[in-house]
Amino acid sequence: MSLSLKVKHIIMEPIAHIKRTSDNNFEIQTLEDHLSGTAILAASFASEFSNADWGHAIGLWHDLGKYSDEFQNYIKSNSGYEEDDQIKSKTDHTSAGAIFANQLYPPPLGQIFAYCIAGHHA
């Protein structure tokens, strides 16, 4: 008797995005890759007004809330990556970065950063 198992590669790093492919596998973007890539893009955009360092910081922090267990459970379950019989409700992943920036920098800079981070999906 032959036993065939489909084994999924287990991702231990925090995940930013999961996409199911046409062959029923998953494309994973780690949170580290997502934040680093966004920071590079944001720095490039902000260099247009001589503030690449601001853009880089905002890009790094824009999805800090995705490190939470709540978000990781949400994305793995709702994407089908992990089997779960319940759809999890959407979680807040932008507030953590906004709060961090606002606490790290004095006004008004912390508030400016927080506004950009909190509104990145608006």
Q: Is residue 49 part of a domain?
A: yes
pLDDT (tens digit, 9 = 90+) per residue, 14-62? 999 999 999 999 999 999 999 999 999 999 999 999 999 999 999 999 9
Q: Is residue 103 part of a domain?
A: yes
Residue 84's pLDDT band (cuts 50, 70, 90): confident
Q: Is residue 27 part of a domain?
A: yes
Q: Is residue 61 part of a domain?
A: yes
- Region of residue 3 (left: phi > 0; alpha: psi -120 to 50; beta: else): beta
Please give the angle made by the CA atoms of 98, 104 and 105, to the nearest 5 degrees: 95
Q: What pTM value is reported for the model? A: 0.86
pLDDT of 9 reads: 54
The tally of domains found in the chain comes to: 1
Q: Is residue 4 part of a domain?
A: no
Q: Is residue 10 part of a domain?
A: no
Q: Is residue 26 part of a domain?
A: yes
Q: Which domain holds residue 24?
A: 16-118
